[in-house]
């Protein structure tokens, strides 16, 4: 559904993505993890076309995204920090997004209802708290029933109830056969949500496999522990054979 092959990207001298090749399949949810500066955000932005890779091909549904902008109608994106025109109200923002994607008539307003955003329709964006913005971002990401969902830190800053609602929604969508890519530092969330794991380190894919496989390999039952063990193993290997 979404694949990257030999993608390289550097900002100046700094190589951020090194020969990244990945395949993401529909019906699965991927946890994209790695320390700060490992290239997660750059990878996501490359997929969204915000960052243009130096070399390599990114394709969605088998089509190279280079020079294309229509492929993004397949992607629902929830940014880490959602900032919107200050003076638009929530209602206007949602109307605007619908307006821009006027071709989609069958919209998914489940999250708008779940978060009770319709009560805040008249509120300008500048008056909203960080959490409410998150909710708006989440609602917008799911609004057009896009088959690929890219969620950057989706639960960060959400209250526990909303967080649960969102996770529920993500799982539902995955079950419907969508591709979900999530980055998060909250590993316990990922434990519930992710079927696959991609670990990025210094711009390289260090690990990419089923979460279940990782747990088996490391002998841990919790994802957080499993990842920690995996990282230690990697570091050990690295120190032996650089």
Interface characters, 29-68, with another protein (x: CB under 8 A): ----------------x--xxxxx----------------
DSSP state, 48?
Answer: H
Name which position in 36, 99, 105, 129 contacts another protein (CB under 8 A): 99
> Which of 12, 13, 36, 70 forms a contact with another protein (CB under 8 A)?
70
Asked if residues 42 and 9 have their Cβ atoms less than 8 Å apart, the reply is yes
Residue 9 beta carbon to another protein: minimum distance, rounded to whole angstroms = 8
Per-residue binder mask for another protein (CB under 8 A), 71-90, x = binder: xxx-x-x-x-xxxxxxxx--
145 sits near another protein (criterion: CB under 8 A): no
Tokens describing residue 122: 């008249």
Q: What kind and span of H or E run contains 198?
A: strand 196-201
The side-by-side arrangement of strands in the sheet containing 179-183 is 75-78, 148-152, 179-183, 29-33, 196-201, 204-210
Dist CA 80 CA 146 (whole Å): 18
Helix crossing, 223-240 with 211-218: angle to 10°?
A: 70
Judged by CB under 8 A, the number of residues near another protein is: 30
Instruction: Tell me whether residue 58 or residue 226 sits nearer to another protein (CB atom).
Output: 58
Q: Which residues would be at the binding site for another protein (CB under 8 A)?
A: 11, 45, 48-52, 69-73, 75, 77, 79, 81-88, 92, 96-97, 99-101, 140
């Amino acid at each position: 559904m979404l694949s990257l092959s030999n993608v390289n990207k550097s900002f100046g001298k700094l190589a951020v993505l090194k020969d990244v090749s990945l395949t993401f399949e529909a019906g699965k949810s991927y946890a994209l993890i790695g320390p700060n500066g490992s290239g997660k955000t750059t990878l996501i932005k490359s997929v969204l076309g915000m960052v243009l890779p130096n070399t390599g091909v990114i394709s969605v549904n088998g089509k190279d995204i280079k020079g294309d902008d229509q492929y993004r109608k397949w992607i629902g994106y929830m940014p880490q920090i959602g900032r919107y025109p200050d003076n638009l109200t929530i209602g206007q923002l949602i109307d605007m997004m619908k307006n821009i994607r006027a071709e989609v008539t069958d919209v998914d307003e489940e999250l708008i209802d779940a978060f009770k955003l319709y009560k805040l329709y008249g509120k300008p964006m500048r008056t909203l708290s960080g959490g409410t913005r998150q909710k708006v971002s989440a609602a917008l990401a799911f609004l057009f029933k896009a088959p690929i969902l890219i969620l950057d830190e989706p639960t960060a800053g959400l209250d526990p109830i909303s967080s649960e609602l969102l996770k529920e929604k993500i799982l539902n969508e995955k079950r419907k056969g969508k591709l979900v890519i999530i980055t998060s530092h909250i590993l316990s969330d990922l434990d519930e949500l992710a079927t696959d794991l991609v670990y990025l380190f210094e711009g390289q894919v260090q690990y990419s496999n089923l979460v279940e496989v990782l747990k088996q390999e490391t002998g841990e039952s919790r994802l957080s522990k499993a990842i920690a063990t995996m990282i230690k193993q990697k570091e050990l290997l690295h120190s032996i054979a650089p």
